[in-house]
Structure 1
Amino acid sequence: MAEYRDTIHSRAAIGGHPLHPMLIHFPVAALTGLLPVDLAYLWTLDEFWWRAGLWLSGVGALGGWVASIFGLIDLVSVRQIRLKITAWCHAILAVMMLSLASLNWVLRYHDEAVSMQYWALYLSAITAALIALAAYLGGRLVYEHAVGVDVER
């Protein structure tokens, strides 16, 4: 027989569906896709890959900050979430990752590919690693702590 635990409902939701997990997919895809795009630029030195990286870093950073607003609403307004160490670790990693992603975009926007290519790759790699850690913790919040899950249905 399945063991049911109390669910933790999101306050930032539409029709009971939490917004934060809905909005993170495009930023995660953009920022993880940035690493192979940077490698493709270093391999080919084709400006297409540099422009693609500029767009991916910008879309990823901006989209991530938008998604983080809804995660922050849940973190500060739902007591059961606020009490979870996993939630705080997820939030701290996400802020670190989005800060690096934003720096990556700003540096790309204001500099030439030739002088920035290795810094861009370095920032993209660290960002991808932080995304993996934050995603793992986000998954634990959903699957182990039932944050935003309706087990009654």
Structure 2
Amino acid sequence: MPEPIPSFAALGSHPLHPMLIHFPVAALLGLVASDLGYVLSGDPFWARAGLWLAGVGAFGGWLASGLGLIDLIAVRRIRCLMTAWCHAVLAMMMLSLASLNWLQRYLAAEPILPWGLYLSLLTALLILLTAWLGSRLVYEHAVGVEAKE
């Protein structure tokens, strides 16, 4: 295993980005389920739930990504990793789509079909790719991993 790369944005030795990213990821993946619930049932509950999930996912994702960006900028060994840059670019693309999805739901009379569902599915796909790159940063490059003594 390579030498661990400590996180700059951390509480103690616990990196903040991986602590916070689970909530927006869960919200944005749950958004796909709520959209499908709306499509299958037509129940407006699912549209309201989708608005909240999209908001939590987008705003929470920007917060968590800001902490990841601090590590990318502040830690030279992270900046030197192509995987880190690919992870960051995909995350920005995904969060831009998630934000557009929330805004479209907030402003539109019929927020789910077709664009809301398309944006939710595309966002979920980008989450999978971004998470895969994030796991490579941890497991292959030891980013944010504490050295055992």
TM-score by length of 2: 0.97
Corresponding residue for residue 128 of structure 2: 132
Where in structure 2 are there 5+ consecutive unaligned residues? none
Identity of matched residues, %: 64
Alignment of structure 1 residues 3-82 onto 2, 5 Å: 4-82=1-79
Deviation at 1:32, TM superposition (A): 0.6
Aligned pair partner of 2:141 in 141, 145, 152: 145
Aligned-partner Cα distance in 1 for 2:137–2:33: 29
Q: Over residues 103-152 of structure 1, what are the superposed CA-to-partner deviations in whole Å (9 max), with x where a residue is unaligned?
A: 00000000123x64210000000000000000000000000000000131
Q: Which amino acid aligns with 1:99?
A: S
Q: Over residues 8-60 of structure 1, what are the superposed CA-to-partner deviations in whole Å (9 max), with x where a residue is unaligned?
A: 00000001100000000000000011111101101111000000000000000
Q: Which amino acid aligns with 1:134?
A: T
Aligned-partner Cα distance in 2 for 1:116–1:126: 14
Q: Which amino acid aligns with 2:138?
A: V
State whether residues 47 and 112 of structure 2, in contact with CA within 8 Å, keep that contact through their aligned partners in structure 1. Answer: no
Q: Which amino acid aligns with 1:129?
A: L
Q: Which amino acid aligns with 2:36?
A: L
* Matched length: 149
TM-score by length of 1: 0.95
Corresponding residue for residue 116 of structure 2: 120
Q: Over residues 48-87 of structure 1, what are the superposed CA-to-partner deviations in whole Å (9 max), with x where a residue is unaligned?
A: 0000000000000000000011100000110000000000
